[in-house]
Amino acid sequence: MYINYFLYQKGLQCPKLFYLTAQNNKPHSSDSLLHHYTHEYIKPYVKVEEENDEEAFIKTQALLRDSDASICNATFIYMNCKATICSVKQSEEGLILYIPKGNTKLKKEYKQQADFLYYVITNAGYKIKSIYILTINSSYIRYGSVDPRLLFTFHDVTMDALDNQESVQAKVQELTALLSDQMIEVELSTNCLQGNGCMFRDTCFDHLVEHNIFDVGGLSKTTALEYYKQNIISYQDMIDYHVPLNPKQINQIVSYINQEPPSINERRVNYFLDQLYYPLYFLDFETFQLSVPEYEGCHPYQSIPFQYSLDYIEEEGGEIKHKDFLGDGIHDPRYELAKHLCADIPADACIIAYNNTLEKSVIMQCAILFEEFRDHLLELYPHVYDLQIPFMNGDYYHRDMHGSYSLKSVLPALCPELSYSDLDEIHHGTEAMFGYLHLAKQTLEEQVETRKNLLNYCNLDTYAMVKVLEKLKKDLGR
């Protein structure tokens, strides 16, 4: 097995992460759009398309020896290390490397990857003139076809790569030894908790009791780790060792240990409920964000709404009715979505969303874009209420929310008969986004299945809101 820049970077984070990633041996995903526009930047080019690493290296060597062509997917091998570069230009002073990244900021790990690529390529016998990391230019707005010179910000990281070669060599030797080792154990560290957490967190944390110090809402990961190192792990440990906590955290821990009924600040929850009126519309949008804007006038990672679900009750005690919209996966969905939304929600409606930031921003985005729907959408805009508020403020807390106020935590706590895990294929927003973006590449039969899954997922979000509101009212005797 070769160490590539992805594995190398995992090795810098944590030796166990390196080991488990190497064992898993799954190809890592990359943004094909970014690669496409980086290729456009160096065109005309020749592509190395051999799947076998050794053959790809032979093809790259031949192109470098026999031509001055720019090369896509140039592959280099040195000992047990492999480097595949998105785009390479040749010059008399050496190779110029272009590495696209789907972020607007130049991150430390991108530079570490460049260090590794420099190591492999120079040791394979090639001179490097420059290495550029290409990040997304956050001020870019698409007009007409995409121009990579505007889409990307170019960062020259060559000097840093040159300076870091000794440490790369030492790290590669260390990682090479790990490849032939048995499974290694390491102490839990902040690396385990960075961002959304390490992908092997479940494996490495499975010795801990369920619902422990790492689940306490509002407790920083670094603080939780400090306590963990002092063997303060369970909720009971936190009480026994008098860990300083705020009132919400105390409520989370004590209500769980004592299996208490929900704690409700009736005055504040009643104030929230008093604001709502009929007709009552429960609205949830799904959106996608692309690094390279798909449509005219859009910027990178702009949220494009492609779907909504709407459950509505016209009068107190009335039946729950339902409407929805789902784009075709091919055309810009925003015009049709805005048109249907205006037809489906009357201007005098009270609208409920869960974390209404997205719903409000989509309504405003459509109002700015489409003059013919503007007045109607601007009437809806101020009446979008946020069902998250009583939970976020701690005015209603159920022990089974485990310190989280997301709908995915609130729903099973208040309405255990409903669950996102019962859904097929699509269980959260990211899966919905990828499902929608794949529609255009699917067969008709697959599209029918994906559309059904998308509708079921989004429908559960609005139905969940209906049921959570019902439960809130019931617990307040309303």
Residues that bind ligand SF4 (CB under 6 A): 14, 16-17, 20, 186, 188, 191-192, 198, 200-201, 204
CB of 221 to ligand SF4, least distance (A): 12
Between residues 185 and 445, which has the closer beta carbon with respect to ligand SF4? Answer: 185
β-strand 396-397 against 263-264: which pairing, if any? antiparallel
CB of 194 to ligand SF4, least distance (A): 8
Q: Where does residue 70 rank: exposed (0-12), middle (13-18), buried (19+ CB within 10 A)? A: buried
Between residues 186 and 209, which has the closer beta carbon with respect to ligand SF4? Answer: 186
Between residues 26 and 267, which has the closer beta carbon with respect to ligand SF4? Answer: 26
CA 420-425-427 angle, 5° bins? 30
What one-letter code names the amino acid at 330? I
DSSP per residue over 58-123, as a string? HHHHHHHHH---EEEEEEEEETTEEEEEEEEEEETTEEEEEEE-SSSS--HHHHHHHHHHHHHHHH
Between residues 17 and 433, which has the closer beta carbon with respect to ligand SF4? Answer: 17
Between residues 202 and 371, which has the closer beta carbon with respect to ligand SF4? Answer: 202
CB of 10 to ligand SF4, least distance (A): 8
Instruction: Report whether 391 contacts 475 (CB < 8 A).
Output: no
CB of 376 to ligand SF4, least distance (A): 49
Give which of 284, 279, 353, 347 is closest to 318, Cα–Cα: 279
User: Could you count the other beta carbons within 10 Å of the beta carbon of residue 398?
Assistant: 21
Between residues 198 and 384, which has the closer beta carbon with respect to ligand SF4? Answer: 198
Between residues 20 and 133, which has the closer beta carbon with respect to ligand SF4? Answer: 20
**How many whole angstroms from its chain centre is CA 448?**
26
CB of 19 to ligand SF4, least distance (A): 8
Sequence-distant (6+) residues with CB within 8 A of 104 are: 135, 136, 137, 138, 153, 300, 301
Between residues 154 and 200, which has the closer beta carbon with respect to ligand SF4? Answer: 200
Between residues 113 and 123, which has the closer beta carbon with respect to ligand SF4? Answer: 113
Instruction: Report whether 396 contacts 409 (CB < 8 A).
Output: no
Instruction: Report whether 228 contacts 188 (CB < 8 A).
Output: yes
Give which of 183, 194, 133 is closest to 158, Cα–Cα: 133
Instruction: Report whether 384 contacts 283 (CB < 8 A).
Output: yes
CB of 4 to ligand SF4, least distance (A): 18
Structure token digits, residue 34: 């970014």
Sheet holding 81-91, edge to edge: 45-47, 70-78, 81-91, 94-100, 128-136, 152-156
Instruction: Report whether 360 contacts 384 (CB < 8 A).
Output: yes
CB of 409 to ligand SF4, least distance (A): 22
CB of 205 to ligand SF4, least distance (A): 7
Between residues 177 and 186, which has the closer beta carbon with respect to ligand SF4? Answer: 186
Structure token digits, residue 129: 């003139």
Backbone angles phi, psi at 351, to 5 degrees: -110, 135
User: Could you count the other beta carbons within 10 Å of the beta carbon of residue 396?
Assistant: 27
CB of 112 to ligand SF4, least distance (A): 16
CB of 431 to ligand SF4, least distance (A): 23
